[in-house]
Amino acid sequence: MVEWTDFERATIQEIFSKIDPGVVGPAAISRCLIVYPWTQRYFGSFGNLYNAAAITSNPKVAAHGKVVIAGLEKALKNMDDIKTTYKDLSVLHSEKLRVDPDNFNVMKNNT
């Protein structure tokens, strides 16, 4: 378990408070799908993902980007127990959706 100092907590909260979830989330997931096209296979129900313009204008992509940012907000509210906070989400992604864990590093690099 990570033990956060007050300075670290304040810094993380301050940085995150400057993020507009409606902009950053959709932009990050769009970049991920464009730069790493193999990640598109997890989003087959999103419709047209054939090119950058289609991806960036896709409302389902934008909505999922907001969901990702909401997940990060959840982590901020539960910084002392992130493992438990993400337990159900982890099971969903690994056992039901079968997302390759390396794709989360890909997403991290696009935010």
For the cut 70, the answer to whether the pLDDT of residue 32 exceeds it is: yes
Q: Is residue 57 part of a domain?
A: yes
Residue 88: burial class (beta carbons within 10 Å; 0-12, 13-18, 19+): exposed
Q: Is residue 53 part of a domain?
A: yes
- Structural domain tally of the chain? 1
- Helix (H) or strand (E) segment spanning residue 71: helix 59-77
Domain that holds residue 74: 21-108
Q: Is residue 89 part of a domain?
A: yes
Share of the chain above pLDDT 70, in %: 78
Q: Is residue 91 part of a domain?
A: yes
Q: What is the CATH number of the domain that holds 58?
A: 1.10.490.10
Q: Is residue 70 part of a domain?
A: yes
| Dihedral sign computed on CA atoms, order 56, 44, 100, 91 | positive
Mean residue pLDDT across the chain = 83
Q: Is residue 60 part of a domain?
A: yes
For the cut 80, the answer to whether the pLDDT of residue 70 exceeds it is: yes
